[in-house]
Every structure is written in C-alpha cells, then in structure tokens.
Amino acid sequence: MTQSLPSKVREHRYLVTGAAGFIGSHLCRALAQLDGAEVRAVDNEMFGRWGSTGETGNIQAIDADIRGLDATDWARDLDGIDTVFHLAAQKLNNATSSDDLLATNLVATNRLFEAAVSAGVRRIVFASSLYAHGRTSAPALREDDRAEPPTLYGVTKLAGEGMLRTLQARNGIETVSLRLFFVYGPRQYVGLGYPSVIVRNFERLLGGEQPQINGTGQQRLDYVYIADVVEAFLRAAHGDFTGVCNIGSGTAISVNELTAAMCRVSGADDDAKSAPADWTDGTFRAADTSRASKVLGWTASTALDEGLSEVWDWLRTRD
C-alpha cells in the first residue's frame, strides 16, 4: 500500500513508542521497508512482543517503559529523529489502577512531547482513539463534534490531543492526532491485553465452538484493517496536514453481520449462541472519514472479508 506515498518518506529517522504492540509492530515493519529509513522502537513488552516487529537490521529496539524515561533519556533516544509516532498507552481494563493509566497516558506522554520539541523533532503523530469522541449513537462521528469522553481512557486521549495542539501553537512543531476506530488484523493480542470480538470468536471457531453474540447483535462498529491504518500513519507523518483526523472504514458493521462474515471466511456454520447484553448493546460507533480523504488522501481499501481471511489464516497457522 505504501507505493503511492510521497518520495520524501524515504531516508527518514523515526521513533515509535508502543513498538512491540499490535499496531506498533505493523508500523515498524512498514517503516523498516522504506529506503534508507532508520527506526528506534521503544516498548516494555507489557502488551506486545519484540518478535512481532520482524527480523530487520534497521530497527533499534529500546526495551524501556516510557514512565521511567526522563528528559536525559529522551534527549539520547530522540537525537536526530525526524518523526515520532506515539502509540504507547494503557487502557483502564489493562492498567493496574487509574493512577497507572494517568502516569502513562498523561505524565509520560507529556514528558515525551516536551522532549521531542527540545530535540528538534519535525513532527509527532499521536495514536488517539474513537473514545475521545464519547458519543455512541448515530450518525457517524466527525472530528468537529463536541467531544465528551465518558471513560478515563478517552479523557486521556483527548488530553493528549490538547497537549499537541498547545505545543504546536507555542513551539511550531507539527502534530497530527489520529482517532483510531476498531483496528483488526493478524498478530492482534497474542495472549496479551484484551482480545477483540474478532479474535475471541475466531478462537471459538478454531476450537469447534459456536461464536458468541452479546445481546441483540445490532450494535454497530467501524472495523478498519491494520494495513490501511499503517498507511494512514505514514501519510500523516509525511503530509502537510496538522490536527485531528478520524481513521476508520467509514462503515458501521453490526456484530451480527461481522459474525456472519467470520463464519463465511472460516467455512463454519452461521449458528451463533446468545449471551447476555453488555454495555455496547444498541450502540453505534462509526467514523466520518471525509476529512482523512481530503487532507491525507487516504481511505480504507481492505474489504471486510479480505481482512477477516487474513486474520483467520494467521490464527490457524501461528506457532
């Protein structure tokens, strides 16, 4: 997908936090394939594994927790870096406490951003989240909607966007915040973190069980394939746009439709079992992607069945 990216993507030096996680590892692999690119990859393997980034000589692994890195550490690690991709974060269901989440998503994040300014980094691309929006009903979410995140995680993501907006106004560093919707693909949550409904139900199918649907199955979500998301990160890093941008497929898929597609690509019977409704029942969370199309020249191009087939094949053959 990266063949249409501008030539200035090449011969660039990057730092990626959260590099061994699901999205970070895919991003590192893509960066490592660019001509002349150098990648410094920071992770503590809390929610990832270094092996996910692949075997390549132009990725320098820095085994560290960003909460423990001070200004001196960052001055060393950011020396000569052109672009920072900040993906490291904690969700409340993964963090040991709310203090732990705040220490990562606010305190350590702000320390990194300030250090990037001091180091002369040209651009920061921040992995924000649909949870910064807050609304869980139709229509599709727009970047200029009123943001009222109902979770502490969403509050921290919205705060991260605000930090960057302030730094750009004050110091001139270029910043982009990508509000990621429901990203899926191979190598997602390999025994780590909180698995998505796609991983959980595919693993049930692999075990000869029925997939499970909570509630009516009419809750609608925006699933976007990992390769498309990686391309969005690369375009955000090397374009002219600064600000906030939704990254999703632009299509709201019900859990019923998603489960039927998973059964279709796996060859299983479309016979799901019902489970009690959870808080998502009746919700609608999809991205309006018109801004991404306009300012990044980006739209998701991977069809749902195609992406699900890649996940299914990976799950069946993983070690």
User: How big is the chain, counted in residues?
Assistant: 319
Tell me which residue has tokens 């040209």.
Answer: 122
Alpha-carbon torsion 77, 131, 312, 202, what sign? Answer: positive
Query: What DSSP assignment string belongs to 267-297?
Result: T--S-PEEE---TTTT-EE-B--HHHHHHT-
Q: With the CA atoms of 256, 261, 225 and 253 taken in that order, what torsion angle do they form, in degrees rounded to the nearest 10? A: -30
Can you tell me the distance from the alpha carbon of 56 to that of 126, in angstroms, rounded to the nearest whole number? 24
Known catalytic residue at 194: no
CB 180 within 8 A of CB 128: yes
Please identify which of the residues 131, 153, 184, 225 carries the catalytic annotation. 153
Catalytic residues: 153
